[in-house]
Amino acid sequence: MSELRELYQSVILDHHRHPRNQGVPEGANRKASGVNPLCGDKVTVHLAVADDVVRAAGFEGSGCAISTASASLMTQAIQGRSLAEVERLFKRFRELVTSKAGAEAERDGLGKLAVFGGVREFPVRVKCATLAWHAMRSALRAAGETVSTE
Amino acid sequence: MTAFDPRRIREEFPALHQQVHGRPLVFLDSAASAQKPRAVLDALLRVYSHDYANIHRGVYELSQRATAAFEAAREKVQRFLGAAEAREIVFVRGTTEAINLVASSFGRANVGEGDEVLVTHMEHHSNIVPWQLLCQERGARLRVAPVDDRGELRLEELEKLLTPRTRIAAVTHVSNALGTVNPVREIARLAHAQGIPVLVDGAQAVPHGRVDVRELDCDFYAFSGHKLFGPSGVGVLYGKARHLEAMPPYQGGGEMILDVRFEGTTFKGIPHKFEAGTPDIAGVVGLGAALDWLSALDREAVAAFEHELLEYGSEALSSVPGLRLVGTAREKIAVLSFVLDGIHPHDIGTILDREGVAVRTGHHCAQPLMERFGVPATARASLALYNSREDLDALVRGLHRVREVFA
């Protein structure tokens, strides 16, 4: 049960029930979708990017608690950050949800995103946690092509 | 025939007797793939330990033994399906390949521009996509027979979609996502009245009841070994001999030829014409063992037992607050597809897994059907003859756990 509690922390459940930044933000000029063929979940990430800074971020779509909360928390975390910072944040986040050891150190600098640390114990759910992030990176690459977790 | 004793049956499945996450495994995903009885495992070990060589070519003892076992399995399938002749049984990798074979071979020979192929809204992707590819290639049109809110086929609408342009109707015998049993005999009658052949996807039907292809009067019938307690990687296409004979080969290669010259090749007769390359020899023999094992059971008693589990499970699940069953057809096999208010099936699946309960969550390779019911996905408990009321009780306890975590 403790691993389940670690996965479904109250912050995650809160963002699942009340997702932040849903919809298309003002000034949005980039977007991309991510699909998880395993479950059919789809998320579309919208970004307003100016001067290499993410001015605003939003998302559409619904999925499991992990993917919805991840999209919600991601849009909060990347707002106001430079593209280089966003890329660093993505790498730290991916490390957090996939790596097996050194849990505590990796949480530094992740802020609220650290609540996804429990995902590492559930390998099949890593795709849920990273779906919105992959879509966001696709949007930043400006290609805007739909990405797949596969 | 031995009397059917569910508790003794369970003992025959080694995989069911293990713990996951520190709890006894409750396996409720047999519609995806069934566990294997000792009889099948023993047969596989025996083939590889004693009777294994390539088939249909060696003059030596071992090859002859392997060939005999392989062809004996074909006769077992013939009897299992009630087919007229063993040469109407083609071994393939599974239901998916069987349907692709018909779409590719029969389809290319018979479906042209402006023609139509009829499927139903409750098909598995494997009975949609091969036809879609064919229709795209040929400029033909895929028509879809609708499903009502209970998850039953609307037969009167299906009948209207059988037109002079329809070249084949491809329908599932039993829905993998809902458990609905379709009246395929009636569908075949309606289609045949207009000279339209019918392919039946039997993947979910054969594990749960007796199938007689001559009684159904279908033109093609496809199923997979792995859902029928046999090995994965082997399946069957039944086709009426006159169709199979008229159809061009599906794949070219060894095993399927009589004579190869650079100027041209002559092919073997059916079924070998459709069996290019070395097949899954041990898999086919293992499938034969699964059929022997299953045929020794009182299948009426098995069906009655499973139906009783379905009724028990439907009622038990209905007691879970916020749970809605998806698929409530009057004729159903023991499949319980459901959604829980405000909780995504993926989360249900993860939490149940920690309780030892294995269910499938997702779209069940039936996305159009999920859309029809307005859900992105469901959780699905699918039962087999080795399940019990206790398994369903464990599922319900697990669902209360899910609600606690999300409370």
Torsions phi, psi of B115, nearest 5?
Answer: -75, 170
The answer to whether residue B36 is domain-embedded is: no
Q: How far apart are CA B73 and CA B52, in angstroms?
A: 15
Across residues B327-345, what is the average pLDDT? 96
The answer to whether residue B273 is domain-embedded is: yes
Q: Which of B365, B369, B395, B399 is catalytic?
A: B365
CATH number of the domain that B183 lies in? 3.40.640.10
Does B271 lie in the same domain as B177?
A: yes
- Asked if B343 and A122 come within 8 Å (Cβ–Cβ), the reply is no
3-state secondary structure of B204: coil
Query: What type of residue sits at position B262?
Result: F
For chain B, the residues whose C-beta falls within 8 A of a C-beta of chain A are: 342-347, 350-351, 354, 361-363, 367, 370, 376-377, 405-406
The answer to whether residue B1 is domain-embedded is: no
Which of A4, A41, A65 lies at the smallest CB-CB distance from B376? A41
Chain A neighbors of B405, CB-CB under 8 A: 4-5, 8
Across residues B50-70, what is the average pLDDT? 93
Chain B neighbors of A63, CB-CB under 8 A: 344, 346, 376
**Distance to chain B for A32, nearest Cα, Å:** 20
Instruction: Please give the distance of CA B323 from its chain centroid, rounded to a whole number.
Output: 27
Least confident range from B244-258, B283-297, B299-313, B319-333: namely B244-258
Q: How far apart are CA B151 and CA B327, in angstroms?
A: 5
pLDDT tens track for B278-289: 999 999 999 999
Identify the bridge partners of residue B257 per DSSP, sorted by sequence position. B267
Does B89 lie in the same domain as B202?
A: yes
Q: Which domains does chain A have, with CATH numbers?
A: 2-141 (3.90.1010.10)
Contacts of A1 (CB under 8 A, 6+ apart): B354
Cα four-point dihedral sign B171, B172, B178, B182 = positive
- Asked if A17 and B350 come within 8 Å (Cβ–Cβ), the reply is no
Tokens 């879509």, located at residue: A135
Does B245 lie in the same domain as B176?
A: yes
> Within B51-128, where are the H helices?
61-81, 95-101, 107-110
pLDDT(B340) > 80 = yes
Confirm or reject contact between A3 and chain B (CB < 8 A): yes
Q: What is the pLDDT of residue A82?
A: 97
Q: How far apart are CA A10 and CA A19, in angstroms?
A: 13
The answer to whether residue B123 is domain-embedded is: yes
pLDDT tens track for B215-257: 999 999 999 999 999 999 999 999 999 999 999 999 998 888 8
**Distance to chain B for A128, nearest Cα, Å:** 9
Q: What is the pLDDT of residue B376?
A: 86
Does B212 lie in the same domain as B112?
A: yes
pLDDT(B291) > 60 = yes
Which of B342, B350, B370 lies at the smallest CB-CB distance from A125? B350
Tokens 């049956």, located at residue: B9
How large is the ipTM? 0.89
Does B355 lie in the same domain as B260?
A: no
Q: Which of B244, B271, B295 is the last residue of a domain?
A: B295
Query: For strand B235-239 and strand A53-60, is the pairing parallel, antiparallel, or unpaired?
Result: unpaired
pLDDT tens track for B355-390: 999 999 988 889 999 999 999 899 999 999 999 999
Q: How far apart are CA B328 and CA B378, in angstroms?
A: 14
Does B141 lie in the same domain as B99?
A: yes
Confirm or reject contact between A37 and chain B (CB < 8 A): no
The answer to whether residue B204 is domain-embedded is: yes
H or E element, residue B223: strand B220-224
Q: What domain count does chain B have?
A: 2
The answer to whether residue B134 is domain-embedded is: yes
> What is the rounded end-to-end Cα distance, in angstroms, of chain A?
29
Q: What is the pLDDT of residue B144?
A: 98
- Asked if A64 and B347 come within 8 Å (Cβ–Cβ), the reply is yes
pLDDT tens track for B183-220: 999 999 999 999 999 999 999 999 999 999 999 999 99
Q: What is the pLDDT of residue A114?
A: 93
pLDDT band at B169 (very low <50, low <70, confident <90, very high): very high
Confirm or reject contact between A112 and chain B (CB < 8 A): no
Q: What is the full DSSP assignment across B141-180?
A: EEEEE-B-TTS-B-HHHHHHH--TTEEEEEEESB-TTT-B
Return per-residue pLDDT of chain A as tens, 150 residues: 578 988 999 999 999 999 999 999 999 999 999 998 776 788 999 999 999 999 999 999 988 999 999 999 999 999 999 999 999 999 999 999 998 765 555 567 889 999 999 999 999 899 999 999 999 999 998 666 677 766
Domain hosting residue B349, numbered range? 6-30+298-405
Does B364 lie in the same domain as B279?
A: no
Which of B351, B361, B405 lies at the smallest CB-CB distance from A39? B361
Does B126 lie in the same domain as B93?
A: yes
CATH number of the domain that B384 lies in? 3.90.1150.10
Query: For strand B235-239 and strand B89-92, is the pairing parallel, antiparallel, or unpaired?
Result: antiparallel
The answer to whether residue B37 is domain-embedded is: no
The answer to whether residue B222 is domain-embedded is: yes
> Within chain A, where are the H helices?
2-7, 10-17, 65-78, 83-98, 103-107, 126-140
Q: Which of B234, B267, B295 is the last residue of a domain?
A: B295
Does B140 lie in the same domain as B179?
A: yes
Does B67 lie in the same domain as B192?
A: yes
To the query of whether residue B218 is one of the catalytic residues in this protein, the response is no
Q: Which of B271, B295, B319 is the last residue of a domain?
A: B295
Does B141 lie in the same domain as B54?
A: yes
Does B218 lie in the same domain as B190?
A: yes
